[in-house]
Amino acid sequence: MKRYAFKMQLKEGCAAEYRKRHDEIWPEIKELLKSSGICDYSIFLEESSNTLFAVQKQSGELSSQDMGSYYLIEKWWAYMADIMVVNPDNSPVISDLDEVFYLE
């Protein structure tokens, strides 16, 4: 199973709203991610820089960031666009992270 990590950027003053929206994440989003082979997905926040760090496991070829062609993901990205730094299609601007160490 592949592990994938990336960074995203939260807009200033939006940490509480980001947490709230993820506390209330749509069940359909969870199901879509799981059915696409994505699991063990965590997002961490470094509040001093508003940097979000995400890591997930993938059994398939797609990461959550490759799913923009799914209507539900497009809708979620549009919902989150007001509190995150995003691309013109509302997908989060991401920076892939290279794994340099792993302890199993």
Active site residues: 22
Report the alpha-carbon distance of residue 50 to residue 84 in Å, rounded: 10
User: Edge to edge, what strands does the sheet with 38-46 contain?
Assistant: 38-46, 51-58, 2-9, 95-97
Backbone angles phi, psi at 89, to 5 degrees: -90, 10
Backbone CA torsion sign across 49, 46, 4, 72: negative
